[in-house]
Structure 1
C-alpha cells in the first residue's frame, strides 16, 4: 500500500491563506472606476466596469457575475479607502505563510505570474494549469506538499476558452509575448504554420505554453483577449470549466486562476493515459502521482465534489471512459477509492 503522507497545514496557516485570498479579491474590486454593466452571452452573465475617458466610453471586464463579486463591487469605495491598510495586511499574511512552511513560488515563475496578472491575463479568462497550478492546491486544500511533489517539469502552461476570449470585448494591457521577451523567453514558431503559442527560456529549460480546448481538430487558434495564439487540445474544456481563484505566494501574493482540484485530479488520469507511449511518456508517472494524491485527499475532505467530477468525465463517452480505465488499471488503490464514490 502506498503511503501518500498527507499532512495538513496548521489552522493558523489555513486561515491566513483564506484571508490573503479575500484581501486580493477585495484589492481587485477596489479598482472599480465607473458603473457596473451586465452583459449576457450564451446563458451566462458577465460584469464590466463602464467608464468615460474624454468623449469615449470604455469597458473593462471584471468577471463572471456572482453574488460574491457583486458584493465586493458594491463596497468598492470603502475598499479603495482601505488600500494602505490592506497592503500591510497582505504583506503580514504572506510572511506568516512563509513562516508556517508553505512552499513559495520560485522567483522566475513568480515574476512571470505577477506580470501576467498585472496585464490582465487571469482577469480575461487565463487559467494556470499543469504542475505550477498543482502547487497552489496547498493553500486551497490546506495541505503541506513535499518539495518532491512540486518538482517542475519545466513547463508553465496557461489555458483559456477561445469562444470566451473572442466574446469578452476586452484585451490585455500588455501582450504576454512582450512580457516573455522581457523575461528572456524566445518564441518557438510552429513546425508547419509558424504560429507562435510557446516560448522557451533563453538561459534555462523552462517553457511557457498557451492552450485552448479543442472542439474538433487539435490546431492552433487565436485568443484575442489574451493577445496570443494557443494550441487546441482535447479534454481541456473539462479541466478549465468553472475555475477558482488562488494566491501564488510571491512577494505579498499574486491573485491568479487555477482549475478546480477535483477536475484537475480526474483530468490528470486522462492525460496520463494519453501520454503513454508518446514523447511525453515520462510525465505520465508524475500525472498519476498527482492524481493519486488529490483523489485520496478529496475523497476524505470533498467526496461529493470528487464524485461529481468523476461522474461527469465518465458520462462524456467511451473514449473518456477508456482513458480513465486505462490509467486506473495501473492505480488499484485510486481505482478502489473512486469506485466507492460512484456506483
Structure 2
C-alpha cells in the first residue's frame, strides 16, 4: 500500500507535544532542585537533587541520558513549568487528525507508569502500543487494523536495571493497583511469589520483559529498578538499543520510551519466524509481518532507508540463525516491502 504522509501542521503539532512533555518531565520538581550531569562509561547522564523537606533529604534521582533536547528541557525547568491544558489542546488536535490513541485503561496505565517514573528509569514500551507511536514519529498514517491491542508490554534492559542504583517508590503491581485495584500478579511456574505478568478481570494483561544475553532460559529475573520480575527474551537487547522518546495520546499526553522504528521493523521480521503456525501465535505472526512491512515502506517514504539498512546489517551480523530468520520473515512481506528489503540488502553488499 502507498504510505500517506500526515499534513505538515499535524507533524509539527506532534513534535510540539513531545517538546511540551519534555518540559513537563524536567520541570516537575520543587523549587530549588538542582541538576547534575555525570559521566558513566564514557556517556553523560543527568540527575536531579530535590531540596530537603521536613521528612529529610530526598535521594538523588536519575533523569536520563544527556541529549540536546534534555539540556534544553532542564534549562527551561529552572524557569517555567509547561501547562497541562496546552498539552491537552495539542493532544485533542492530533486525535482529531486520526493519530492513534490508546483505550481508556491503557492510557491510565501509561500515565501511571509515567508518573511513577517507569520511563525515567528507562522502561520501554514495546509491542503494538509502541507501534501506535510511529504514526506521529514518522509523520505517516497507519491503518487501524495494525494498531489494535488489548495489552501493554513493558521492557527494560537487565543491565540497565541493575546499574541505575535508583528504583520506583512502590512496586510495579502497586502502580497498577492505583489504576485498578483488581490488577493482580499471575504467579509463574518459577514460584508463587514470582510474576512477570499482571492481569485484571476480562483478560487485560501487562507483561514485563527483559534482555537475555546468556544461555537460553525461561526462569524470570528480577528488575530492581522497576521492582518487578520480568521474562527474559533472547533478541530483546537488539530491540532496546538506542530507544527514542515518543508521545502517547493519553488525556494530557505521556512521554515514553519506544524502540526506534527501524529496529522495531527488523525485530518483527525475526520474531515472526519464532511463533507457532497455529492459533493465536499464528495471528500474532501475521501481525508482526504487517507491522514490519508498513514500517519498511514508511521509513523509505521518509528517506530513512539508511537507518533501516543499519538495523538490517546489525541483525545479519549476529550470525547465520539471524540471517535465516530475516530471510524467512522478509519472504512473507507484501511485494512492495519485500522488494524494498531485497533492494536495500543487495545495494549494500
Common fold: TM-score over 0.5: yes
Report what 2:39 is aligned to: 40
Structure 1: stretches of 5+ with no match in the other structure = none
- 1:200 deviates by 1.8
Could you tell me how far apart the structure 1 residues matched to 2:238 and 2:73 are?
A: 28
Could you tell me how far apart the structure 1 residues matched to 2:99 and 2:158 are?
A: 34
Structure 2: stretches of 5+ with no match in the other structure = none
1:54-73 equivalent positions in 2, closer than 5 A: 56=57, 58-73=59-74
Counterpart among 198, 202, 208 of residue 210 in structure 1: 208
Aligned residues: 334
Q: Please give the secondary structure, in 2, of the residue aligned with 1:208.
A: strand
Counterpart among 332, 338, 341 of residue 338 in structure 1: 341
Could you tell me how far apart the structure 2 residues matched to 1:271 and 1:168 are?
A: 29
Deviates more, 1:170-179 or 1:105-114: 170-179
Could you tell me how far apart the structure 2 residues matched to 1:331 and 1:17 are?
A: 29
- 1:88 deviates by 2.9
Report what 1:146 is aligned to: 143
Deviations 1:235-273 (A, max 9, x none): 100101111111111112111111100000000001000
C-alpha contact 2:208 2:230 (8 A) present in aligned 1: yes
1:168-207 equivalent positions in 2, closer than 5 A: 168-182=164-178, 183=180, 184-194=182-192, 195-202=194-201, 204-207=202-205
Q: Please give the secondary structure, in 1, of the residue aligned with 2:191.
A: coil
Counterpart among 81, 86, 89 of residue 89 in structure 1: 86
C-alpha contact 2:124 2:155 (8 A) present in aligned 1: yes
Q: Please give the secondary structure, in 2, of the residue aligned with 1:78.
A: coil
C-alpha contact 1:24 1:255 (8 A) present in aligned 2: yes
C-alpha contact 2:17 2:87 (8 A) present in aligned 1: yes
Q: CA RMSD in A?
A: 1.8
1:233-248 equivalent positions in 2, closer than 5 A: 233-248=233-248
- 1:51 deviates by 3.8
Deviates more, 1:27-36 or 1:210-219: 27-36
Could you tell me how far apart the structure 1 residues matched to 2:78 and 2:329 are?
A: 51
Q: Please give the secondary structure, in 2, of the residue aligned with 1:281.
A: helix
* 1:49 counterpart = 2:48: yes
Are residues 95 and 319 of structure 1, via their aligned partners in 2, closer, same or farther at CA, if it must alter by over 3 Å? same
C-alpha contact 1:166 1:224 (8 A) present in aligned 2: yes
Could you tell me how far apart the structure 2 residues matched to 1:140 and 1:51 are?
A: 32
Report what 2:309 is aligned to: 307
Q: Please give the secondary structure, in 1, of the residue aligned with 2:80.
A: helix
Report what 1:156 is aligned to: 152
Deviates more, 1:321-330 or 1:132-141: 321-330
* 1:12 counterpart = 2:14: no
* 1:325 counterpart = 2:322: no
- 1:133 deviates by 0.8
Report what 2:121 is aligned to: 124
C-alpha contact 1:27 1:79 (8 A) present in aligned 2: no
Are residues 332 and 19 of structure 1, via their aligned partners in 2, closer, same or farther at CA, if it must alter by over 3 Å? closer
Could you tell me how far apart the structure 2 residues matched to 1:148 and 1:69 are?
A: 35
Q: Please give the secondary structure, in 2, of the residue aligned with 1:225.
A: coil
Are residues 17 and 332 of structure 1, via their aligned partners in 2, closer, same or farther at CA, if it must alter by over 3 Å? closer
| TM-score, with structure 2 as normaliser | 0.90
C-alpha contact 1:29 1:79 (8 A) present in aligned 2: no
- 1:94 deviates by 1.4
Could you tell me how far apart the structure 1 residues matched to 2:13 and 2:113 are?
A: 24
Could you tell me how far apart the structure 2 residues matched to 1:332 and 1:110 are?
A: 32
Could you tell me how far apart the structure 1 residues matched to 2:196 and 2:86 are?
A: 38
- 1:332 deviates by 6.1
- 1:179 deviates by 2.4
